[in-house]
Structure 1
Amino acid sequence: MTGTVSAPATSTASNSTTRTGVASPSGLAVRPGRWIDGWNAEDTVQWEAAGAAIAQRNLRWSIFAEFLGFVVWQLWSIVVVALPAAGFHFTTSQTFWLISMPSLVGATLRFPYTFMVPKFGGRNWTMVSAALLLIPAVGLAICVANPATPFGVMLLVAALAGFGGGNFASSMANITFFYPQRKKGWALGLNAAGGNLGAAVAQFAVPIVITIGAGATLQLPLAGLVWVPLILVAIVGAWRRMDNLSNAKADVTASLAALRAPELWLMALLYIGTFGSFIGFSGVFPKLIADQFPAFSAFPVAGATLSLAFLGALVGSLARPFGGRLADRFGGSTITIAAFVVMALGALAVILTLPLDNFWLFLGFFLVLFIASGAGNGATYRMIPTLFALRSGAADGHSAAGDVSSQRTAAAALGIVSAFGAYGGFVIPQVLGLSKSTTGGYEAGLSWFVAAYVVLLAITVAVAVSGRRRGVRI
C-alpha cells in the first residue's frame, strides 16, 4: 500500500500523507516503513511543496541522534581526568590510549557506516546506531565503578565508545540526499555542528554530574548512565519522525568510483587537518588543562565542579555551520585557506605563550584554534560535493549537483572522507602523548601541527588556484 505526500497543508510527513493513490503536487509517495519514493531535492516545485518540511524534520532528529553519538564518543576523554581521584592508577601512555582509542575505532567504523543508510534506510539505521550507544554508555558505568578494573578491560570498553564516532558518516551521507546542492553547506554544517556540540555538552555536564552532591566520592558511573534516557528518546524519535529515501543509493559502484577519484584523497587529507584537529584537540583538551594548569582544571560551582575544557568543543561546534554557510557564498577552498592560516597562527601562539604560565592566554589562543578548525570543518566538507559535481562534468559544481550517479558518488565520498578525518582524533592525542613522554611538555607536538597546517594550506591554495584557472569556484 502506498500513499502520496501532498502540498504543505500540514507540517509533518505523516500528516501530509494521503491514501488516495492520486499523484500529489510534490510527486512524492510514502510506502509502509516510512519509505519515500520520488524524492528530488533539486526540483524546486517539490521542495517548496513538501520537500523542505520533510528535510528539516529529518535533519532535526539526525542532529539529536548524532549529538548523542558525539557525547558517548567523548566520554572517556573526560573521565580519564577524574580516574586518579577515583583510585585508578594508569601511566601517561595508558591515559592517552584511553583518550585516543574511541577515535581510532570510531574512524574505522565510519567506513562500514557509510553503507548502512543505502542498505537499511536513513530512519532505520538511525534507530540501530542510536541503540548501539547503550553498550558503551552502560559499559563505562560498570568499569569505572571498580578501581580494580584491569586496564585491558577499560581499553576495550573505551573502544566500544567508537560506536558514537561511526554515527557521523551515516548521518551525513543520509542528510546530503535530503537537501539541494545550493543548501548542502548549511544543512551539512548544522548536522555536523549538532553532533560536534555533543563533545562540548559532555565536557560541560559530566564533571558536574559526577561531582554534584558526591562529597569526597566521585559518582563516575553517572558519566555513562545519565545519557541512557536521552538515547532511548533518540531511538523512539527516529522511529516516529524520520524517513527512508528509496533513491539514497550510495552503492558499492559509487564507493569504488569515489575511491578511484583523486579528489577523495585530496579531501581526506584536508579533512584530517580540519575535523581531525577539532576532534583530536577536543578529546585531549581536558588533559592538557589538567597537566599544564592544574589549578584551573576544575572550578567549584554549587557543590559540583566545572571544567572550562568544554569551551573549546563548544566554539568549534558553533563555528562549523557558519563555515559551511560562508563556503556556500564564497567557496569552500577560500574559507578553508583562511581556516588553516588561523589554525597555524593559533597553534604557534599557544607554543609561544606556554612558558608564560598564563592560563587565560593559553585558553584564548586555543579557542581561536578551535573556532578556525570548526569553520574549516564546514568549509572543507562543502568542497566534497562541489568537486564531484565538477568531476561529473557540471559547469558549476558549486551550485549544481550533477547527475544522479555523481550525487551517489559524492554521498559515498562524504562518508569515506569523514572516516579519514576522524583518525585525527587518534593521531593528535598520540602525538601529544609522545611529546609529553619524551620531552616533558607539549611544545614539540604542537610545533609539528603548525608545520602540518602550513603544508595543508599550500595544498588548498593550489586547489583554489586550479579552480580559478578553469573559471569555477571550489
Structure 2
Amino acid sequence: MTAPSPSAPPSRSAQAKRAGGRWIDAWDPEDEAFWEQGGKRVAHRNLFFSILSEHIGFSIWTLWSVLVLFMGPEYGIDPAGKFFLVSMATLVGAVVRVPYTFAVAKFGGRNWTIIAASLLLIPSLAAFWVMEPGTSYTTFMVCALLTGIGGGNFASSMTNINAFFPLRKKGWALGLNAGGGNIGVPVMQLVALAVIGANGGPRVLLGIYIPLILVAAVLSALYMDNLTSVSNDTGAAKEAARDPHTWIMSLLYVGSFGSFIGYSFAFGLVLQTQFGRTPLQAASITFIGPLLGSLIRPVGGTLADRYGGARITLWNFVAMGLATSVVVLASVRESLALFTGAFIALFVLTGLGNGSTYKMIPGIFQAKALALGLTGEEAAAYGRRLSGAAMGLIGAVGALGGLAINMAFRQSFLTAGTGTGAFVAFLAFYAVCFVITWAVYLRRPQQVVTPDNAASGTKKQLGYAKV
C-alpha cells in the first residue's frame, strides 16, 4: 500500500492494514499544505476522542476524592486515614505515567487508548463491589491504588496528541487535550454532588461511570488512528532522562499540575476537616476550583504560544504565591469565605500554569534541535522524539507533587489540626519555582556550541524565553 506524500492529506486508502487496527504511514504536520489538505481534520478527530478517554480516566483517578465524602462515622476512618487513601491513588497515577507514555510507541496511540480505557473497568467494578461499611481499610486501600491507573491516561494521551500537531499548534492542542482531561475531576465531583443531593449511595455514582468507560473504548476503536512515525525508541527515553531540562521542567510541573491534582483530591476533605462542612456542603463547592482550572488550561497554552511559555510560567508562579498567601491568612483567621475564594483563584492559576509549562517542553527540544544545526522536518522529528519521551517523565514527576500535597495536609492536620502549615510549605515551593524559571529560561540566553561553528570557535545563542 502506498503512503501519502508529505504534501497530501492522509486518506483511508493510505493507512497500512496492520494487526491491531488503523495506521497512518506518512505524517508531516509541519508541512502546511499537508496540514490544510487533510492533516488538520485527522489530528482534530484524534484529539476529540483522546480527550473523551482521558476525561474519563481523570474521573476514575479522582474517584476516591469523592468516595471519602460518602464515608461517614460508620466506616470508622478518621481524616488522616482518608487523606492517605487519596494519596495512594495519586501515587499510582504518577508511577504508571512512565510506562503509559511508552505504550503509545509500542502499541500505537489508537490501540493503547482502547486498552487504557478498558482497564478503567477494573477499579470501577472493584469499588462498586466493596463500597460499604464493614469493609476493611486494607481493602479500601487496594481499591484506591487501582484507581491510579486512570492517571496514566494523561501521559499516553499527551504523548499521542503531541505527535499529531505541528509545533505552532502544540500549545493550543496540548492545552485543550489536557484541559479536557482535567475537567474529568470537577465532572466527577458534580456527579457526586447530584448523587449525594438525591440521597444516593456510592454505587449509584459508579453505576453511571461504568457504561461511559465502555462507550469511550468503543469510540476510540472506531474513530482514532495510529501513527507509524511514533516508533518504540528506548534511546529517546534515555536521552530525555539525561537532559537536565527534563528534570527542571519536572520540578516546574510539580508546582503547576502537582498543585492542581493535589488540591483537587484534598479540597473537599479540607473543607470537611478544617471548616466542619457536611459532605453535601463540601461537594457543592469542591468542583468549582478544578472546573475553572481545567477550562483555563488551554488559555495557558495559547498565551504560551503567543508570548512564550517561560514568561507566562514565571508570572503565574508569582500569582500563585500571592493567592497562597491569602489562603494562609484565611486559614489563620478561619474565614471560610476568604479561604474558598482564594483557593478557587489558586486552582485557576494552577490550570493556567499547566498549559504554559507543558507548552515549554516541545519548544525546548525544538530549540535544542535548531542549535544542533538541524532544520525542517529533521529538526521537527528530533523535537517530537525527545519531547514525547520527556512528557512521560515530566508528567509522572508532576503527578507525584499531588502525592506530596496530600501527605503534607495529612501531616499538618495530625500535628496542628489545621492545613495552615501545609500551605506555608507550598508558598515556599512556589518561590523556588519562580527563581528556577527566571534563572534557567529568562535570565540570559544560553550559549551552545553547534557542529557547524565548533571548528571556528564561535557560539550560537540559544534562548528559551519564547519556548
| TM-score (structure 2 length as normaliser) | 0.91
Partner of 2:452: none
The correspondence of residues 49-448 of structure 1 with structure 2, limited to 5 A, is 49-84=37-72, 87-144=74-131, 146-212=132-198, 214=199, 218-249=200-231, 251-295=233-277, 298-299=280-281, 306-394=283-371, 402-448=379-425
Partner of 1:22: none
User: Distance between the aligned counterparts of 1:243 and 1:5, measured in 2?
Assistant: 18
Amino-acid identity (%): 42
Q: Is the 8 A contact 1:210 1:223 kept in 2?
A: no
3-state SS, counterpart of residue 269 of structure 1: helix
User: Distance between the aligned counterparts of 2:312 and 2:70, measured in 1?
Assistant: 38
Shift of 1:160: 0.3
User: Distance between the aligned counterparts of 1:205 and 1:313, measured in 2?
Assistant: 14
Which ranges of structure 1 fall in alignment gaps of 5 or more residues? 19-27, 300-304
The alpha-carbon distance between structure 1 residues 471 and 58, as it changes in their structure 2 partners (threshold 3 A), is same
- Name the count of aligned residue pairs: 448
Q: Is the 8 A contact 1:385 1:401 kept in 2?
A: no
3-state SS, counterpart of residue 75 of structure 2: coil
The alpha-carbon distance between structure 1 residues 390 and 180, as it changes in their structure 2 partners (threshold 3 A), is same
> Partner amino acid for 1:180?
P
User: Distance between the aligned counterparts of 2:93 and 2:462, measured in 1?
Assistant: 38
Shift of 1:383: 0.8
Instruction: Considering fraction of residues, name the structure with more helix.
Output: 2
Q: Is the 8 A contact 1:250 1:412 kept in 2?
A: no
Spell out, residue by residue over 1:196-231, the C-alpha distance to the aligned partner (whole angstroms, 9 max, x if none): 00001011111312441x3xxx51112222101111
> Partner amino acid for 1:120?
F
Q: Is the 8 A contact 2:101 2:159 kept in 1?
A: yes
User: Distance between the aligned counterparts of 1:313 and 1:295, measured in 2?
Assistant: 19
3-state SS, counterpart of residue 93 of structure 1: helix
User: Distance between the aligned counterparts of 2:66 and 2:274, measured in 1?
Assistant: 16
Which ranges of structure 2 fall in alignment gaps of 5 or more residues? 447-460
The alpha-carbon distance between structure 1 residues 296 and 348, as it changes in their structure 2 partners (threshold 3 A), is farther
Q: Is the 8 A contact 1:333 1:464 kept in 2?
A: yes
Shift of 1:402: 2.3
Q: Is the 8 A contact 2:80 2:410 kept in 1?
A: yes
Shift of 1:403: 4.2
Spell out, residue by residue over 1:376-403, the C-alpha distance to the aligned partner (whole angstroms, 9 max, x if none): 0110111111111222234999x99824
Shift of 1:355: 3.5
RMSD over equivalenced CA pairs, Å? 2.3
Q: Is the 8 A contact 2:8 2:33 kept in 1?
A: no
Q: Is the 8 A contact 2:175 2:299 kept in 1?
A: yes
User: Distance between the aligned counterparts of 2:349 and 2:332, measured in 1?
Assistant: 23
User: Distance between the aligned counterparts of 2:443 and 2:4, measured in 1?
Assistant: 45
User: Distance between the aligned counterparts of 2:420 and 2:167, measured in 1?
Assistant: 42
3-state SS, counterpart of residue 423 of structure 1: helix
User: Distance between the aligned counterparts of 1:222 and 1:64, measured in 2?
Assistant: 21
Spell out, residue by residue over 1:323-356, the C-alpha distance to the aligned partner (whole angstroms, 9 max, x if none): 0000000111111111111111111101111233
3-state SS, counterpart of residue 307 of structure 1: helix
| TM-score (structure 1 length as normaliser) | 0.90
